[in-house]
A and B are shown apart, each in its own frame.
Chain A
Amino acid sequence: MTVVFDRPKSLRDVRTHYCPGCLHGVAHRLVAEVIDELGIREIGIGVSPVGCSVLAYNYINTDWQQAAHGRAPAVATGIKRVHPDKFVYTYQGDGDLASIGTAEIVHAAMRNEKISVIFINNGIYGMTGGQMAPTTQIGQKTTTSPFGRSAEHIGYPIRMTEMLAQLEGDNYLARGTLHNAAGIARAKRYIKKAFQYQLDNRGFSMVELISNCPTNWGMHPKESIEYIKEHQLKYYQLGEFKGGEEASK
């Protein structure tokens, strides 16, 4: 019998703790597929964040370090400086990367640290029970913005990828989406380019992935996909912002 679809070698055969309909599983699979395709599992060292993906080390089959909240880029910096020939990547959510860890991500990018960052943006704190994130949409209700996020009260959602794109240096910055098949295929291409950037010893790379949180958005998974289309994608532009062919056009 011909196998046409199988689990990537780098994805461990275990049940995840993620909620039904959550797109972390898709993102994990993309990372694992790319690690397989580039043949870098043996030299891979991941850094997991604090948040829903704190347990990412249970799912992707490389060595891992678990970092304090927001500090994954600093931890990855320490690892990469010791082992410049290894492949070092972080996997972080938006509370981790865009709130408490803003200094660490900005400065890792500024140093053009040769690490790769997978940044999951679902506009909410999932693990702690659906609190407002810096990426939460205007008007979006969360457990700490019960009347909807107000720009007057707390400003507008932060666009991390665009912010980092202001920095000089040969780095790769892209934003993809996980809400449909075309988006997932494109996101995978971005991830592959990002990882290749590090393997080619060029510089910092980050792929932001627009994702969902059906549980804390209080939606059926299908509704959460609609929400991404109607809200997230209208605010967060997709594409390569630096280092890719799309960016150089």
Chain B
Amino acid sequence: MPIQISLPSALATQTNGQRKLQADGATVGEVLDHLVAQYPSVGPRLRDEQGALYPFVTVYLNDEDIRFAGGFAAPVADRDELVIVPAVAGG
């Protein structure tokens, strides 16, 4: 089932300007792998050489930070949405 993916504008330079994309997979990790298969230059902007998300990138599955939801192994289903957001903060 295709999963909706929302990218920040800073990554859209790697996806021909598209910020709303679709990718397949049964888990968050598989969906991201599929996204990277379509747009290889996105991969090294999300994960380090060990495959871990960079600390300044956060991935949300339906508003939930995936670090609270099982990480890359978190299962996804039809109509789920992945949102990739750069980590910026300050109270």
A and B are partners in one complex rather than unrelated chains: no
